Each structure stands twice: as C-alpha cells, then as structure tokens.
Chains A and B, each alone.
Chain A
Amino acid sequence: MIRQDFHKIDPKRRATLDHKKKQFATPIFKQQDYSHRLNFYEVPPTAEITLEQFEQWAIDRLRILAEIEACSYRNKSPAETEVHITPLLQKYLPLSSNTSSSLGAADQRLKNERQKDHYSHFILRLAFSATEDLRRRFARAETMLFRFRFQKDDSRERRAFIESLNLDWEPVSDEERRELSEHLVNATPGLRRVDEESWYKVDWERVPELVEKRSVFLYRGKAYVPGREQLSMIIAEFTARLERALELTSRALPRLDEDDRLTPILNHLSKNFGSAESVYSEGEGFVDGAPITASSIDHLSQHFPLCMRSLHMSLRKNNHLKHYGRLQYTLFLKGIGLSLEECILFWRQSFKGFTDDEFNSRYKYNVRHAYGDVGGDSNRRGRGYPPYSCQKILSDSNPGVGQTHGCPYRHFSVDNLIGLLQSTGVNDRDLLRGVREDVEKTRYHIACNRVFEWAHKGDIKRVKEDGSWNQTDLDTIVHPNTYFKRSYLLKQAGKPQRNA
C-alpha cells in the first residue's frame, strides 16, 4: 500500500515478476520473515494493514522518537535515557528477542511486534522525508533508537544479525597484527591485549566517529578496528543508509499527493514531531515593559546566564569579540527584545577601537543578517536565526584559540569556571562544590540551574509561597533567554511588593 519508488531498487519484485507482464500481473511480494529482532529497514513493507493500524503504529513510534529526542535535548546521559525510555518502549513499541519465546522467531507474537516496528518505521519515513530538517532529525532519532536496541540485544543474536548484513570487513592477519601490536594498543583506548580481539581493516571513512575521537589506529587510509567497535561501524552504516533512503523517499513523495487517505495523516504526524524541539518559541524571551536599549545592557547583564555574562565581560574587556561570540551574543540580545537599531548601536559602541567604516564593513552585516534584515529569502522570511538554546551552545564545536563563545560550564576548565563565577559574585562554598560535581558529571544544565536557584532563592521561595508561580514556571532552564526572562521577572516581582 505504500508505494515506494518502484523503479529504484525493488528486490522483491525483481525475482517474481516478468517485466513484460508487469502492468497486468498482480504483484506477488516476498513476505518478510523477520528472523532477527533488529532491522536495517532495507526492504519496504508490502502486506496490507488497516488505516487505523497505519495511524496508530505511526503515533506509537513517534512518541518514542520524540522522547528520545527530548532526552538528548535535556542532555541526559545514555544511562538516564535508558531508564526513561525502557518502560515507554515496552508499552508502545515492544520488540522481543528470539530467546524470549520457546518457538523462536516463528512465534506469532514476535512476528507481530517486528511487523509493527518495521511498518511504523516506513510510515514515519514518509512523514519525515519532506524537508531537510525533518529528515536530519528523523535520522538522528532513529539512529539513537537503533543504537539503544542494538546494545540491549542478546550477543548471539547480535552476531547473527551482523552476519546477515554482509558488510565487507577485511580481517587483519595474525602476522600483521603482531607487527602493529604496539600501535594498536596505543591507538585503541581500553584495550588490554591485542590478541584478545579480532581486528578488521576498513576504509577510515566508515568509522568517522572513531577517527574524530582519535581512538583507532590509521595506516595509509585504513582503519584498524577491534571487533568490539562494531557498534560504531554498524551505527554509521545504519545512518548512512537511512539518510540515503530518506533522500530517495523525498523524491518519490510527490506521487503520494493524489492519495487523500494517507496525506492528511502524514502531514499531521510531521507536525507533531515539530513540537519536540521548539521549546523556545519566538518572542518567548521578551519581557513586557522592560526598557531594553543599547545603554541598558550593562545594567541588565546581571540577569544574563553565565555564558552571556562571560561574553559581555570579555566584550567590555577587549572591546571586541570573535565571530561566533558575536553571533551567540547578538542572537541572545535579539531574543531578549533588543531591536536591530539598538543592537547595531550596541555593537558600534562596544567596538571601541574601530572606525565607523571598519565597523560598517566588517561587522554590521553580520548583525543585520542575524536579525534577518539581509540575506537570502528564507533568512529574511524567518527573521534571521533563532537565539541559540543551551543544547545548541553545548553541542557546537569547542571554542578555539582566542574564542569566547560556548558554555562556560562545559568549555572552561573548572578552575577558570569557578574564578568566573566568583567574579560575578557567586561565593557560596557549598554551591561551588555542587557546581564542581555537576561539571565533573557533565551535567552542565544542572550546574547552571543550581547557580540560578541559588541567586534567586529568596524570590523563588516567595513566588512559590504566594502561589503566583507554579511548578512549570520553575522548570529546569534549557535556554539562555529563559534564564534571563525568569531572572528578570523574579527580581521585578520582588520590587513592587517592597514598594507597596
């Protein structure tokens, strides 16, 4: 029922249909037998399902993917994510191993589970292949789901599954292994003895994750991968294939247009997925009635989260910020409601060592671009880019030499971080110890929120007591602009009462 692009790879038809009779014959499809728990989703489903199933299965899977995305968005560790996801998976998208049934893969229950997994994946592929952004997010969430299941899989079944994939890995001979043993040990972290592992030689392009982390030995374009790093390779393969397939699906999408049963469902699905990441909506950071102008930034900066505060401080100190610092800060200022004119004025005044000409030719355009005042059509229509979220700031590349952007909790050394905190007036010893611990455990959000709660503990207590703010208003902060808004409002809420 889902018409995949049939002139592309269509392994099921090729075997059974004579192409000359194609248009008259009833296609006979090879039924999937689902002999493995895991699935690379190479072959599209062909059996019929009801419209209700179509919708329900898709919604169930979507729920899982949205949760996975939310977990990564909240910077949860893999272990935390696992705890969070496992019950949900059990409820909405169970997938049992062959050993869980006495009949093995032949059990009807397993077949049904696997069918649902298989079909829902392909339904969502249709729903999320429309735009580049959706494709990227879908591929990321699916990859995480796959990785999660792969790690949980029973090791024997996992091996059988890998063998069924037919990946071309060249084994390293014993002789070569002995020759290179020193390099192999040094290059591969967590390895005790070279002989314990079976080694494979693959093109380095297939294990970019390992190469990037510098945890694999490379020689003349080949990566020497120990058997246990299969995960990384399988995942890379999974992502690559999925991305390719999504691209193909998107090209076949227009053919669905005439189908008025599926298109509304699919559109609905892709809209739902959209809400997962947009925790920050436009204008959310704006604070009504707050006088936000170029000259008030200095004063307001006491409400800024540490990342922005550090940018502001180094701007004042050096009268300059490098490109990514400017970008991060400009977008934040846009988010708190600073108008374009005021923003340009702000930067002009801040860049003291430059003439007007230099400023106009080098920096003004970027500011205008960030506000969507110039640039391509889509940039202008979208009014520039949205202010960076914590997730974005945390996951972007590390600041390089002389750069100041990023999140201090993540990108500063602990000592410098503590120094910076102290210079902003955070001196409480217990608090600093807490921050230290959080940072060690890479819980940067918690550290930032901890500082926030400490700095506003009086106000928070008060608004809780008088009931003017409820729990959702005080949820964990995951956006610098939320930090500002909340900090500002808490302080404001305090004032009138004192006056009254």
Chain B
Amino acid sequence: MPHSVSPGESPSHSDNDEVIPDAPQTNPPSNVSENKEPENTENEASNDNLADLLFDEDDDDEFPASSAPGTKDSDTAMPDAVDSAASQPAKVDTDTMLAFYQRLFPFRYLFQWLNHGIIPSPDFGNREFALTLQNDAYLRYQSYPTADLFRKDILRMNPSRFEIGPVYNTNPRDRKTLRGGQMKPISKELVFDIDLTDYDDIRSCCEKANICAKCWQFVIMAMKVVDTALRDDFGFEHIMWVYSGRRGVHAWVCDPRARSLPDDRRRAIAGYLDVLRGGAQSGKRVNMKRPLHPHLSRSLDILKPYFAQTILVDQDTFVSSEQAQRLLTLLSDKSLNEALRKKWESSPDRPSASKWADIDALANTGKGGTLNPATRRDAQDIILEYTYPRLDSEVSKKMIHLLKSPFVIHPGTGRVCVPIDARKAEEFDPLSVPTVTQLLAEIDAYDAENPSTGAGTDAVEGEGSVPNESDARGSRRMQDYEKTSLKPYIDYFRSFIAGLLKEDRGGKRERSEDTTEVKTESMEF
C-alpha cells in the first residue's frame, strides 16, 4: 500500500528502528503504514545513514571502527559502551544530551554561521558533518539541506558530539554515486588547534587531560600570538576562538578568503606560525635566524611578560634539576654554562626567577657589563621555546580535516564548547564554563521562578529553529538559552555571525539583490 517507500528500501527501513533506539521521543515507530507519507524525507535520510553504518569504511583511518557497526551489533554494543564509560565519572547520559539538543543547542545560529546567509545555500547543504553516536560509532559524510532538517536529525541520532568538515562540490551523501575522486572539498574555515597536552614537558602543575588556571595561561598567550598574527599579517578579521571543552581551544578563521584557501596555502600559514621544530630528541627546538622576523619580534614582545609571570613564577619551571639541566643545554656559552651549573648545584631548590636572573648576572660579569649577543639570542630563543604557541599544525594543513563543532558538549567533562572573545581572552575561565547539567538546572530554576513565561514552552520545542516564529506572536517568547548562563556565549556567537554575514553579503550584493530584503527582515540581531 504505502508507495512512498520503494520496495527495496523496506527491509532496511525496518532495521532502521533498531539503529536508533535512543531517540524514541522524536521518531515514533514508523511501521504504522499511514504514518509514512509525511515522514518521507526523514526516511530517506535515515536510509542513508543506515547505508553509512553498514558500508562506510573508507577514509576514516584516523578513527577506530572497532564497533563494526552492523545494525544488530549496535544494540548489543551499546551496553558495552556505557559500561566502559561508567568508569569515567563525568560522562553525560543520553537523556541529558537529548535535552540539551532540544532546548539549548543553537542550531539556527550554527546554520547561519556555516550557511553565510539565511536562505539555505550549498555552503550549508554540501557541508560534511561527522557524528559520533552514543555507541561510539562514527558516521561521516552527513549533510543537511536546512537548519530544521539538521536539528531533526541531530535530535534523532542524539550524537555524543559532532564535527564539522569541508563544503564539497557536491552533496557528500551522494558520494557513492560518483566515480572515485569526483567529490572534492572546495572550502572550509581555516582552523587551528591548541592543546595543553603539547605543553606537558614544560607545565609543572598538571598533566594529560587536567588543567588549572595556571596552565590555562599557556592557552591565553597562544591565542594572543596567533590571533594577532592572523589579523595583522594575514589580514583576517573573522576569527572565532572556541573552547574545546577540556584542555584546549580551536580557532575558526571564517573570512571568505580563508575559507577557500587550498591545502598548500594552509600549509604555508601553518609553517609561518610554526616555530618549535622537532620532537623530544631534537635538542634546541627554537633556532631563529637573526634579525628576528617581525612576526617573531612582535610575538616575543607579547610573550615576555607571560614568560616572566607564568614560566618563572607560576609554573616555576626551572626549579627541578632536570628542567634546569635542560635550560643549560639551551645556552651555548660553555663557560657561562659551567658557572651556572656550579651555582645551581650548590643550591638545588633555587626558584626559576632567581635562576633566570643568574644567567643575566653571570653573563654580565663575564663580559664588561652587557649581555653578549650570543647569550641574548639564546635567551630570546628560550623564551620562545617555553611560551610560543604549540600548534597541532596537521589540523590546519588540510581542508578535509574535521573539527568539533562549537556548542557541542565535551563528553568527558560535560562542558559546552563555547566561543571565547579573543579581545577578552584573559577573562575566560575554562573551569567556570557551564556544564550541561548545570544549564538544564538553570532552566528549571528560571521556570520555577517565572511560571508564566515557562508555561507554553513544552509545546514548541527548543530554541525555535523556525525563523520568524517568535515574531508571529506579539511579544517575543523567551528562548531557553536566555534563561541560562549560556546566554552571553550565544550572544557573542550571534554578533560574530552578524559581522561575518555583513561581509559575505557585501561581496554577494550584485548577484542577489532581490534576496537581501528577505535577509534583513529575518535577521533579528
């Protein structure tokens, strides 16, 4: 009877219900035949997903596919995943996650950000999303034509997180129908990734996944240096920094010029910004030519105060004899080296600041009052080695690299990946970023205090991804995020998008004169 579904699809369709057992609220059992007609689009979407679950194994070598996602397995695999996760204390449970997507996640703004306008365009439609499901299965090449369908699918799949990839020349879901190599990425934001684990050899306060206010300073100085270089040297303006949820930050450079950079130009930027060379075995990792390139002398000026405070005082990096030893190997002057070694061995617990001052003092006594140029250079190199941003440059080099979306939840900490205003980077405290449970509690608390406004919200789900919906009523209905401490972050995101859209629209004006009117009225910032 139901001809809306072709015969070939029906077997996989019945499997479909097994794949998505954790989203029953939004996806009522669709084997009731009358229901099928209106759900058509969603069925198609889920069939695609299913095909991906079964057959999608290429190109994901970065990611373990151990969960061998057969449909039957995914049911049985789920308890396993939960079990192993139980050992991690802060694991966010699936219901909380779903509530977050329903009530708080800013789908509409995310759409506007990636779509570069209000009218759905290929910029969004051909954009790859990669979903990590609750059972750790990994779905690549998802794409959505509109913000609504995007939201619907996220609610249905309830992923523990999702990542954003490039815009392709065609819809990524159609890739199987194309001959090999036909699908090509054509644009993506230029991204950077800074992760505190890369600082493990020089941070004394924490290691691995842990962070504190002291080592967060490394991230702040890195943001300052990179942000300044991107703006002043490369002329980029729309740079959004996003907290990665645990121990690092991502930068999204969204200027149209940055989005269309081919890989070799991305590599050039990464190389330009990359100063620390070599792994643990390479000895001195900063060896700059003199005179210093303007980018480096500027960075050095930015970093000097941080070196004095963070490295010498807060971290007290050189207090241990190992680290002091390493410091000595970075100084090329042999006699100075010897003198320092003697001095430090006699007083093992000498703090870093004094040790640093010793270098100054001893070097000066050696040669008539002034620091000799070689030692001065070494000192500059050392400052750079200990404070210059340690970028994970592989992330920046490839257009196809996937990066976690802003505003998703970090599954380990439960914190939201919120954007950071780089102009006020110092004020950002990663440990006070709201967690998902906290946010949901805030909504409840607000609704309890203001029962009248909260009454109608159950009927209309979430933050209302339908444009103009709020305008339809006389007074604007308050959205859930506005009741929480997520509001300032979303407000910042909105203002960022507004700036970006202004530029994008400026460029497109000739072509889409007629659409600008629609855009301005539906944009309510």
Contacts and interface: CB of A to CB of B under 8 A. Distances in A.
Interface string A281-298: 000000000000000000
Interface string B467-481: 000000000000000
A420 B296 CA distance: 32
A222 B201 CA distance: 37
B257 interface: yes
Contact of B61 (A209, A357, A365, A402): A365
Given A189-B289, A211-B271, A214-B295, A401 B198 contact: yes
Contacts of B180: 377-378
Contacts of A374: 57, 65
A411 B64 contact: no
A416 B282 contact: yes
A204 B269 CA distance: 10
Nearest to B298: A183
Identify whether the interface residues of A are mostly helix, strand, loop, or mixed.
helix
Interface residues of B, number: 51
Interface string B269-295: 101100011111111100001011111
A212 interface: yes
A416 B234 contact: no
Contacts of A361: 64, 66-67, 136
A413 B280 CA distance: 10
A209 B63 CA distance: 32
A365 B58 CA distance: 12
Contacts of A412: 278, 281-283
A469 to B, nearest CB: 34
Given A183-B294, A364-B66, A412-B281, A212 B61 contact: no
Interface stretch (B144-152, B260-268, B313-321, B352-360): B260-268
Contacts of A402: 198, 200-201, 279-280
Interface in B388-439: 390, 392-394
Interface string B34-62: 00000000000000000000000111010
Nearest to A378: B180
Contacts of A411: 278-279, 281-282
Interface in A308-363: 310, 357, 360-363
B233 interface: yes
A376 B183 CA distance: 15
A186 B278 contact: no
A221 to B, nearest CB: 3
Nearest to B391: A400
B281 A420 contact: yes
A487 B27 CA distance: 64
B6 interface: no
A132 interface: yes
Contacts of B64: 360-366
B10 interface: no
B181 interface: yes
B61 A186 contact: no
Interface string A357-397: 10011111110010000111111000000000000000001
A24 interface: no
A304 B92 CA distance: 47
A185 interface: yes
A397 B64 CA distance: 24
A221 B181 CA distance: 32
A377 B268 contact: no
Contacts of B63: 365
Nearest to B390: A401
Given A221-B257, A416-B283, A208 B268 contact: yes
A362 B269 CA distance: 30
A310 B282 CA distance: 13
Nearest to B61: A369
A205 interface: yes
Interface band, chain A: 35 or more
A400 B284 contact: no
A366 B234 CA distance: 37
A182 to B, nearest CB: 8
Interface string A122-140: 0000000000100000000
Contact of B235 (A221, A364, A369, A376): A221
B268 A211 contact: yes
A415 B279 contact: no
Interface string B306-327: 0000000000000000000000
A213 interface: yes
Interface string A397-419: 11111111010100111011000
B59 A376 contact: yes
Contacts of A397: 393-394
A186 B390 contact: no
A95 B268 CA distance: 34
A463 interface: no
B237 to A, nearest CB: 10
Contacts of A369: 61
Contacts of B57: 374-376
Contact of A209 (B181, B261, B268): B268
A299 interface: no
Given A187-B294, A413-B281, A220 B198 contact: no
Contacts of B291: 185-186
B232 A366 contact: no
B294 A205 contact: no
A189 B292 CA distance: 10
A218 B296 CA distance: 12
A217 interface: yes
A261 B370 CA distance: 78
Contacts of A364: 64, 66
Contacts of A360: 64, 66
A427 B468 CA distance: 78
Interface string B172-197: 00000000110000000000000000
A499 B201 CA distance: 52
Interface string A177-210: 0000001011101000000000000001100110
A212 B235 contact: no
B347 interface: no
Interface in B197-239: 198, 200-201, 232-236
Contacts of A363: 64
Contacts of A208: 264-265, 267-268
Contacts of B264: 208
A374 B57 CA distance: 7
B84 interface: yes
A398 B393 CA distance: 11
A205 B263 CA distance: 11
Contacts of A362: 64
A34 B61 CA distance: 50
B58 A376 contact: yes
Given A186-B293, A219-B233, A402-B198, A211 B283 contact: no
Q: Which of B198, B269, B272 has the most CB of A within 10 A?
A: B272
Given A401-B201, A401-B280, A411-B282, A213 B261 contact: no
A205 B296 CA distance: 20
A400 B393 contact: yes
Nearest to A131: B181
A214 B236 CA distance: 18
Interface in A127-181: 132
The 3 closest A-B pairs by CB, nearest first: A221-B235, A376-B58, A413-B283
Given A361-B67, A399-B279, A402-B201, 13 more contacts: A186-B294, A204-B234, A209-B268, A214-B272, A214-B295, A360-B66, A364-B66, A365-B61, A376-B59, A399-B282, A406-B279, A412-B281, A413-B284
Interface of B: 57-59, 61, 63-67, 84, 136, 180-181, 198, 200-201, 232-236, 257, 261, 264-265, 267-269, 271-272, 276-284, 289, 291-297, 390, 392-394
21 contacts: A208-B268, A212-B267, A212-B268, A218-B272, A221-B233, A222-B235, A310-B281, A357-B84, A360-B66, A365-B61, A365-B66, A374-B65, A375-B59, A397-B394, A399-B278, A400-B276, A400-B392, A401-B276, A403-B279, A413-B282, A416-B281
